[in-house]
Structure 1
Amino acid sequence: MSGFLRHLPGLAALALSAAALAISLGILQPKTAPQAALSSAVFTTAQAEEIGKLSRDYLLQNPETIRDAIQALQAKEEAAKADRQSEAVTKYKDQLFADADAPVAGNPLGDVTLVEFFDYKCPYCKQVSPALEGLLKDDPKLRIVFKEFPILGDPSVLASRAALAAQKQGKYLAFHQALMAHRGQLDLDSIAGVAAAVGLNGEQLVADMKSEAIEKQLTANHELALALGIRSTPTFIVGDHVMPGALSIEELKGLIADARKGS
């Protein structure tokens, strides 16, 4: 090793290694012309080549550095995404929490509102549905807003149209829970069977499913999800927290408790 590198401080060597790793991962962009000129003024070509070799050798001898760098990058990106979503929740709070057209369950004047974006074909939405039913029974101060978000094809859209049509007959929640419990295909016949089981008027349901208002509502939900960075179902919003995935009832209770504390 040259005398130059032998006297290079350890932290500087590590920083150079990290920079080389970041460039190789695409985290950093190549230097601009003025930066390149400055770099060449500081290091000779031979020194730069030896620094590159040192960086490569360091990473080969310490491969966990790559893992740590990737994990740090992912954590940074997740934190930035959470911040953006929290800001978006504040911006679109009226569409989320005070949409007069959105189906609502629980206490209309509840002290905490939980919003769910979901799809009737989503197995994870079906998995978490019993937990939501349990929360409605056990928490008299909870309010739930349902955001129909059909993203899994035409059967999902058909089911969402039927659910919003059921709202006009005052049976949204019963029909929603029955659809979540349904296993098998979601076509007009199976949806009609579920509707009949909860006491809906089938002819009225089919007529209401064609409503332009329902089409506008589904479009608005998709646009809202896009603005919030929501791409999957289920996704829950409590307070200013956006939480994707099939959360357990314990996790949901924790989010609700935090919201009650104002955290």
Structure 2
Amino acid sequence: MRHIGRLTALAAFSMATLALDAGRAHADGFTPSQRQEIIAIVRQALKADPSILSDAIISLRAHEEQAQASDSAAAIQRNQAALTGAAGDEIAGDANGRVTLVEFYDPRCPYCRKSLPELDELLSDDPKLRLVEKLIPILGPDSVLEARAIAAAGRQGKYAVLQHALMTDPGQPDAAQIRAIAGRAGLNVGKLQHDMADPAIDAQLHANVALARTLGISGTPSFVIGSRIIPGAVDLGDLRAAVASARAG
């Protein structure tokens, strides 16, 4: 009976919320006395068992999370072509792999830097995985500078080389330092400087940021796999589980 009472109170709580919201729109379908009766039921139920409110909040949050997941899946589907790899993106692992993991990252983000060796290990352990890396420099001018350099290095087939060199370097980047790091990494420094100034590089980075916003991504790193968006730094075990789930699906 207590369980039934809680369900009744939860229903009343929902009805009261709807009634009040609808009342503001003058289209609730309840008379003033009916609204007062509903509110009285909810108040009495909360006095008898305050945990009803937390249950209602949990239920509402679950509903919101479900709606958000549905919205994310729809956004991923609409932008599938861009997510499979646009011009300038780095594609690592198996170029023809059935499962694609997309990473949105900022080269100056400490969590992205922490994820770098874990992604290397993931690709090493799962040679059939396809990884698409999208630069989104959202942390200021230093991020933009490094992102331009990494994207430009891709034109020499040295994307991963300069990516790792810059993202493992503890210093603050400037043009001279990037030239020095690129030279030590075996890049053609003159070509790198020329390509970094190409407006197409900026267009690529802007497109990546716009895509991230369209998907509701606001931080780095963020991962897209299948119909899911995984925000924030995740450990290697979680990435493996996400890949396994996508492959099974």
| TM bucket normalised to smaller | 0.7 to 0.9
Cα separation, 1, equivalents of 2:107 and 2:51: 42
After superposition, the C-alpha distances for 1:35-94 in whole angstroms (9 at most, x for unaligned) are 36x323x54x9xx2x754553354355443333322222222222111111112122111
Please name the residue that 2:28 is paired with: 35
Match of 2:145 in 1: 158
> Structure 1, residues 98-141: CA drift from partner, whole Å, max 9, x if none?
42431111222223221100001212111211110111222221
Deviation string for 1:21-46 (max 9, x for gaps)?
x47xxx9624133436x323x54x9x
Within 2, Cα distance between the matches of 1:99 and 1:28?
A: 48
1:227-238 correspondence runs (5 A): 227-238=214-225
The DSSP-based 3-state class of the residue aligned with 1:35 is coil
Matched, 1:131 2:118: yes
Amino acid at match of 1:167: G
One-letter code of the match for 1:29? D
Deviation sequence 1:133-164 (CA, Å, 0-9, x none): 11122222122111001111111111111101
Deviation sequence 1:215-245 (CA, Å, 0-9, x none): 1101111121122111111111112221111
Query: What's the offset of the Cα at 1:176?
Result: 1.1
Aligned equivalents of 1:92, 1:218: Cα separation in 2? 16
AA in 2 matched with 1:35: D
Give the structure with higher Rg (CA). Answer: 1
> Matched residue of 1:120: which SS?
coil
Note the 1:208-247 alignment, pairs <5 A. 208-247=195-234
Question: C-alpha separation between the residues in 2 aligned to 1:51 and 1:105?
Answer: 59
Closer, same or farther: CA 29–191 of 1 in aligned 2, 3 Å: farther
Distance 2:197 2:172 in 1: 21
Counterpart check, 1:81 vs 2:73 = no
Contact 2:99 2:130 in 1 (8 A): yes
Paired position in structure 2 for 1:55:
42
How many Å apart are 1:209 and its aligned residue?
Answer: 0.7
Structure 2 length as normaliser, TM-score? Answer: 0.86
Which amino acid is 2:69 matched to? A
Percent of aligned pairs sharing the same letter: 41
Aligned mates of 2:174, 2:223 — CA distance in 1: 27
Q: Write the distance in 2 (CA, Å) between the matches of 1:71 and 1:222.
A: 33
Does the CA contact (< 8 Å) of 1:120 and 1:156 recur in 2?
Answer: yes
- Secondary structure of the structure 2 residue equivalent to 1:150: coil
Match of 1:177 among 153, 164, 177: 164
Judged with a 3 Å threshold, the aligned counterparts in structure 2 of structure 1 residues 137 and 34 are, in CA distance, closer, same or farther, namely closer
- Is the CA contact 1:17–1:58 (under 8 Å) kept in the aligned structure 2? no
Give the 3-state SS of the residue equivalent to 1:168 in structure 2.
helix
RMSD: 2.5
Evaluate the alpha carbon distance shift between residue 189 and residue 61 of structure 1 in structure 2; reply closer, same or farther with a 3 A threshold: farther
Equivalent pairs counted in the alignment come to 244
Match of 2:11 among 11, 15, 36: 15
Unaligned runs of 5+ in 1: 1-8
For residues 28 and 182 of structure 1, the distance between their equivalents in structure 2, rounded to whole angstroms, comes to 57
Output the TM-score relative to the length of structure 1: 0.82
